[in-house]
């Protein structure tokens, strides 16, 4: 199960065969996570550094858990408590870390493309844990795994991505991955949240939520990325909720259930109501569990041979 890629920068251009291998391997690791002893010796002797220059709950803990489940040695770096705060440059920081012989680096950074830059000056496997508004490939892979688990195949599945598409790295990685796997993708949100020319990515666009719900087998709901946008793109959170919030009242107009997904963190009562997020049709916590399995899969396939 060798991959054609050496690093995971994003899902743009990653072939279907690679995504199939990652998802198949992730399903095997899901079985490990169900065992009483949830650990295999696969990455014994491999050292992984988790470099987080932005806050994270799910991705950071999920990677760390995946590394521990594979018996890798794990080191965590958080920018806020590092010597970066004393004026050390990013390059010096990273070169010092790699002088200590790291094999794999998992990085989240606010600058799009930063992971590619990193790979140019370290001799290690580089995995993107989210680079600014660009890509978040492991999130999209765990999203696809969760959809595949529910529907058996992604081919022909109708997936509506709803919310702040413009500032979302989750959206872009989902679009690339889902299109490669044969799904139909529709983007929905206010015009200020949909990138100009989005249709060129092979997706449909609507500004009407009811149209998106009518289309969808699955809705992947995104929060408003307030940390990545200027003010004035929506009149108010209350108005956004009134027009684009996913509520039981809206869903009950449909005659069939829709699968509810959200990458987290959720702003309950804004993009989705609590009773929808916690409903029997929500697979949000399954996504979180699958996140560990997908990250084990990526680490194994990219670093297992080293
Ligand atoms: N989905 C996701 O990336 O969540 P975190 O920001 O908590 O890692």
Q: Over pLDDT 70: what percentage of the chain?
A: 97
Is 57 touching ligand 1 by the criterion CB < 6 Å? yes
- Residue 136 C-alpha to ligand 1 middle, in angstroms? 9
CB-based contacts of 191, cutoff 8 Å, min separation 6: 207
Confidence of residue 91 (pLDDT cuts 50, 70, 90): confident
Q: What is the pLDDT of residue 306?
A: 44
Report the atom number in ligand 1 closest to the C-alpha of 60.
8
Q: What is the pLDDT of residue 183?
A: 98
**Tens-place pLDDT, residues 235-268:** 888 999 999 999 999 999 998 999 999 999 999 9
Domains of the chain, with CATH numbers? 16-135+288-303 (3.40.50.1370), 137-283 (3.40.50.1370)
- Cβ contact 62:288 at 8 Å: yes
Q: Which residue has the tokens 């799904």?
A: 183
- Residue 98 C-alpha to ligand 1 middle, in angstroms? 25
d(CA 105, CA 124): 7
Report the length, in residues, of the chain: 306
3-state secondary structure of 46: coil
- Residue 255 C-alpha to ligand 1 middle, in angstroms? 32
Is 58 touching ligand 1 by the criterion CB < 6 Å? yes
Pocket test for ligand 1, best of 52, 59, 138, 295 (most atoms within 8 A of CB): 59
The C-alpha angle with vertex 10 and arms to 154 and 116, in degrees rounded to 5, equals 170
**Tens-place pLDDT, residues 142-176:** 999 999 999 999 999 999 999 999 999 999 999 99
- Cβ contact 282:288 at 8 Å: no
Q: What is the mean pLDDT of the chain?
A: 94
d(CA 219, CA 261): 6
Q: Over pLDDT 90: what percentage of the chain?
A: 83
Confidence of residue 289 (pLDDT cuts 50, 70, 90): very high
CA distances from 6 to 14, 69, 118, 278 (A): 11, 22, 14, 38
- Residue 58 C-alpha to ligand 1 middle, in angstroms? 5
pLDDT at 78 over 50: yes
Q: What is the pLDDT of residue 228?
A: 62
**Tens-place pLDDT, residues 204-234:** 999 999 999 999 999 999 998 776 665 678 8
- Cβ contact 18:285 at 8 Å: no
- Cβ contact 148:93 at 8 Å: no
Is 228 touching ligand 1 by the criterion CB < 6 Å? no
d(CA 53, CA 81): 10
Q: What is the pLDDT of residue 80?
A: 82
d(CA 240, CA 244): 6
Q: What is the pLDDT of residue 236?
A: 85
- Residues 134-147 have a mean pLDDT of 98
Range of weakest confidence among 176-190, 214-228, 278-292: 214-228
Taking Cα atoms as reference points, which of 217, 229, 266 lies closest to residue 245?
Answer: 266
Q: What is the pLDDT of residue 265?
A: 94
CB atoms within 10 A of CB 286: 16
Is 10 touching ligand 1 by the criterion CB < 6 Å? no
Is 61 touching ligand 1 by the criterion CB < 6 Å? no
- Cβ contact 167:173 at 8 Å: no
H-helix or E-strand spanning residue 300: helix 284-303
Taking Cα atoms as reference points, which of 141, 148, 168 lies closest to residue 217?
Answer: 148
Is 139 touching ligand 1 by the criterion CB < 6 Å? yes
pTM for this prediction: 0.95
Is 264 touching ligand 1 by the criterion CB < 6 Å? yes
pLDDT at 74 over 90: yes
**Tens-place pLDDT, residues 7-62:** 999 999 999 999 999 999 999 999 999 999 999 999 999 999 999 999 999 999 99
Is 225 touching ligand 1 by the criterion CB < 6 Å? no
CA distances from 209 to 152, 160, 212, 215, 259 (A): 26, 10, 5, 10, 15
pLDDT at 305 over 50: yes
| Helical residues (DSSP H) of 35-164, grouped into ranges | 58-69, 90-99, 114-120, 137-151
3-state secondary structure of 268: strand
């Amino acid at each position: 199960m060798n991959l054609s890629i050496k690093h995971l920068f994003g899902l743009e251009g990653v072939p279907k065969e690679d995504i199939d291998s990652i998802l198949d391997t992730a399903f095997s690791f899901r079985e490990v996570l169900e065992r009483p002893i949830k650990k295999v010796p696969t990455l014994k002797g491999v050292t992984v550094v988790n470099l987080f220059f932005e806050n994270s709950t799910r991705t950071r803990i999920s990677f760390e858990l995946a590394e521990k489940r594979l018996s890798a040695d794990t080191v965590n770096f958080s920018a806020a408590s590092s010597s970066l705060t004393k004026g050390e440059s990013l390059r010096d920081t990273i070169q010092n870390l790699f002088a200590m012989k790291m094999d794999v680096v998992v990085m989240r950074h606010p600058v799009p493309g930063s992971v590619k830059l990193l790979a140019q000056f370290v001799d290690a496997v580089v995995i993107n844990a989210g680079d600014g508004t660009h890509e978040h490939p492991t999130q999209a892979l765990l999203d696809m795994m969760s959809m595949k688990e529910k529907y058996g195949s992604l081919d022909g599945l109708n997936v509506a991505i709803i919310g702040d598409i413009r500032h979302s790295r989750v959206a872009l990685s989902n679009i690339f991955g889902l299109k490669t796997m044969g799904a139909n993708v529709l983007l929905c949100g206010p015009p200020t949240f949909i990138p100009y020319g989005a249709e060129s990515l092979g997706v449909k666009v609507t500004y009407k939520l009811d149209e998106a719900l009518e289309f969808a087998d699955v809705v992947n709901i995104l929060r408003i990325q307030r940390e990545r946008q200027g003010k004035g793109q929506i009149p108010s959170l209350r108005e956004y909720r009134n027009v684009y919030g996913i509520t039981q009242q809206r869903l009950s107009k449909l005659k069939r259930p829709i699968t509810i997904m959200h990458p987290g963190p959720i702003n309950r009562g804004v993009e989705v109501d609590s009773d929808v997020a916690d409903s029997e049709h929500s697979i949000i916590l399954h996504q979180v569990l699958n996140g560990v399995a997908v990250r084990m899969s990526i680490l194994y396939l990219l670093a297992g041979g080293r």
